[in-house]
Amino acid sequence: MWILLCSVFIFWMQTGFAMLEAGTVRPKNTSNILFKNLMDVAIGAIGFWLLGYSFSFGNGRTITNNPGRDTAFIGAGNWAIRNFSECSCSYHLWFFQWAFSGAATTIVSGSVAERCRLETYFMYSLFISIFVYPVVVHWVWSPMGFLSASYTDENGNRWLKQNGMLDYAGSAVVHTVGGFAGLIGAVALGPRKSFESGEGRKSPNELLCALGVSILWMGWYGFNCGSTLGAGANGGASIALASKIAVVTTISASSATVTSILVSYIQFDHYSLAYCLNNVLAGLVAITAPCAVVEPWAAMCIGIIACGIYSGVSALLKKMGIDDPVDAFPVHGACGVWGTIAVGIFATRENIKRAYGFDNDAMRSGNQLRNQVIGILIIITWTIVTSSTLFFPLKWAGLLRVSAEQEAIGLDAAEHGIEARKKYPRSNRRIGSLPSRQSAYGTPSPGRSKDEKSKSRRTASSSEMKPARPASRKHQQLFTPSRNHRHMYTQSSSLNSITATRKKSLWGTARSPLSETNSPAAL
């Protein structure tokens, strides 16, 4: 039940990714980016069911009939999970791992937003679900993977000394793979037409971005805490570990956010919401690998450094002219690398023993840091090579990017038949005003331009009797003379000397459009 609940939390992160990306792209591409996120889930599920899970955790024989050695690189057997009832695997583990796979796939959609052909993206979504991501999963998380903490060859030797590469919840396996795949896609596609002008860098809807990041933060607890693969087992040890993971996850994200508040005020001279939201994700990505093996104070350090890494890499991409609309590579790729290396810096012997069961001096001897660096370099190389073999041939064949005309009108119209959203001009009329209302300048037309209004004023000012500007209703009530007032000022013998002045002053003040009920004749 614990794994199923956490899996639902991880799947709910798809909604967060969708809201974040929809809030980042321009309105004319909103439906397209949401459609891509939907297809990531659907296509990824089919691919992971057919081949992905087998490549990740299959333990059958492949080429040389030596399962101990053959499956060190890629899993095999149990295709389309048809033998689940006959092995130790179970359906809840498939569901959990598929949710992870969907997260890695969706990261790429933000990097290629607003300019990638839909059919091409479907191809890559299937490719990463059945091959790119599952192979890395097998290396690190399968007991038979050569980077795994549990791997030993036929002679009982480990390829990486002592603990192997440690990645508890996926800084390397999920986020580094997704981030670097997105980077290759962005480089192959080239920048958007609006990138140079700066139009494409603006966030048109920060409300959606904030909602998306909030959902992702919530789902991250399922991501990290669910990696314990149980709650209440081992005499309550798993639930205690999951609780600590929740604490360090919160501290890392919060420290990155607080740091970004200070940096944004210093760098931009104001508090940037979009910048702080991305740093929330940077802190979450960085703590994903070491969440079970570090103390809270170390989580704070990891989050602070993640903020600096995100800021530097994001600025570097813009300087290099690489267009990553949602900053997927700085957030997931760069901070994923940092989180993986942070295991070798901040992990403790006691925490490694509690999370993995290993009790050795790998941290003191520096072997753990060495293992982390070697492992992340292998994963980066694998992701770059495999992603390039798909993206660049499609680019050379002219099948990767939409045409300039389609990009200009927006992919909602070009790919989905949705008319571009019209920008209605702001009305200059006040709420409740009626077209038939009379004024001193004539009857206003609802659609008159500024030039027409100016011409109307000049015509009125050139007439023989220039009317005064209309007074407000309250002003009219206070200063419209009644019959008794006029009689007092015109008939009193004591005021004969100022009669003309008073009459002119009062009638000039009250000169305004009056209805038939309050006109001087009616009074």
Mean pLDDT of 358-364: 83
Model pLDDT for residues 391-417, shown as the tens digit of each residue: 999 999 999 999 999 999 999 998 898
Q: Can you read off the two tokens belonging to residue 147?
A: 């980077």
Q: What is the mean pLDDT of residues 471-479?
A: 47
Q: Rounded CA gap, 180 and 186, in Å?
A: 10
Better-predicted residue by pLDDT, 267 or 250: 250
**Banded model confidence at residue 226, pLDDT cuts 50, 70, 90:** very high
Give the residue among 202, 199, 249, 260 at the shortest CA–CA distance from 225: 249
How many other C-beta atoms lie within 10 A of the C-beta of residue 153?
Answer: 12
Asked if the model's pLDDT at residue 114 lies above 70, the reply is yes
> Averaged over 202-224, what is the pLDDT?
90
426 secondary structure, DSSP code:
P
Query: Do residues 61 and 77 lie in contact, with contact meaning Cβ atoms separated by under 8 Å?
Result: yes
User: What angle (nearest 5°) sits at the alpha carbon of residue 246, between those of residues 337 and 215?
Assistant: 80
Q: 3-state DSSP call for residue 116?
A: strand
Are 330 and 310 a contacting pair, CB within 8 Å? yes
Position 84 confidence tier, pLDDT thresholds 50, 70, 90? confident
Share of the chain above pLDDT 90, in %: 58
pLDDT tens digits, 45-74: 999 999 999 999 887 654 445 544 557 888
How many C-beta atoms surround the C-beta of residue 381 within 10 A?
A: 11
Rounded distance between C-alpha atoms, residue 250 and residue 232, angstroms: 22
How many residues are present in the chain?
Answer: 523
CA dihedral 5, 10, 16, 20 (to 10 degrees): 170
- Residue 61 CB partners (closer than 8 Å, separation 6+): 67, 70, 76, 77
Question: Residue for token digits 């002592």?
Answer: 162
With vertex at residue 337, the alpha carbon angle to CA 94 and CA 254, rounded to the nearest 5 degrees, is: 85
Band the pLDDT of 87: cuts 50, 70, 90: low
- Percent of the chain at pLDDT > 70 equals 73
- At residue 154 the predicted structure's pLDDT band, cuts being 50, 70 and 90, is low
Q: What is the pLDDT of residues 11-30, one digit of tens each?
A: 999 999 999 999 999 999 99
Lowest mean pLDDT among 85-89, 371-375, 449-453: 449-453
**pLDDT digit string, tens, across residues 308-339:** 999 999 999 999 999 999 999 999 999 999 99
Give the residue from 19, 326, 337, 336 showing the smallest Cα distance to 185: 326
| pLDDT at position 358 | 84
Question: Looking at the predicted structure, is the pLDDT value of residue 146 above 70?
Answer: yes
Task: Output the pTM of the full model.
Answer: 0.78
Choose between 379 and 367: higher pLDDT: 379
Listed residue (141, 113, 124) closest to 53, CA to CA: 141
pLDDT at residue 519 greater than cutoff 80: no
Read off the tokens for 87.
Answer: 């092995």
What is the three-class DSSP state of 238?
A: helix
pLDDT average, residue stretch 470-491: 47
Dihedral through CA 307, CA 313, CA 316, CA 320, nearest 10?
A: -150
Of the listed ranges 295-309, 343-357, 466-480, the one predicted with least confidence: 466-480
Indicate whether 201 pLDDT > 80.
no
Mean pLDDT of the chain: 81
- Compare 271 and 514 and report the one with higher pLDDT: 271
Specify the pLDDT at position 421: 52
Q: Provide DSSP, 66-106.
A: -HHHHTTT-----GGGTTGGGSS--HHHHHHHHHHHHHHHH
